[in-house]
Amino acid sequence: MAPSTPVSAFSKFAKSVPKFIEEYNKELVVKIKDALDLNEIQVDKLIEAIKVEDVKTGRKGNRSTTTRAPTEYNLFVQTKIKELRGADPTIDRKELMVQAAAAWTLLKAAKKAAAEAAVPAEVAEVAEVAEVKPKKSKKAEKA
């Protein structure tokens, strides 16, 4: 068993700073609220304005993070990797990603080609339905 690494005084201090700032900000908000007689909406705006950004993430403290929905690419790669791993479980992760990305590129190229091939037919149908006729000028109508 390896000996545990001692925690330096600086790392303890660095970890305690955000908590200290948060507590100080709470006290500061109470003092400002009392001094300026702020309503709840103004207090909420003040709290948001003085939150300190986390150095590691760049996010302001105490914000809940929302996760994005997976993209079409993410979903495709997940299913393709499962499919490839089922076919050959000995393939390493890097090779799985390479093969999944190549399959995605081929799929996107096929979809693009199909879309481009479909457009001219649709344009021709619209042109037939619309039957664009040139307008006659007023001079031509008088003559």
Domain residue limits, the chain: 13-50, 72-130
- Specify which residues 53 forms β-bridges with: 60
* Angle value at C-alpha 23, between 52 and 11, nearest 5 degrees: 70
* pLDDT score, position 108: 92
CB 86 within 8 A of CB 95: no
Segment among 43-47, 65-69, 81-85, 92-96 with least mean pLDDT:
65-69
For residues 33 and 24, the answer to whether their CB atoms sit within 8 Å is no
pLDDT band at 1 (very low <50, low <70, confident <90, very high): very low
| Helix/strand/coil for 83 | helix
Q: At residue 90, does pLDDT exceed 80?
A: yes
Q: With a cut of 80, say whether residue 118 has pLDDT above it.
A: no
Q: Measured in Å, how far apart are the chain's first and last C-alpha atoms?
A: 106
pLDDT surpassing 90 at residue 102: yes
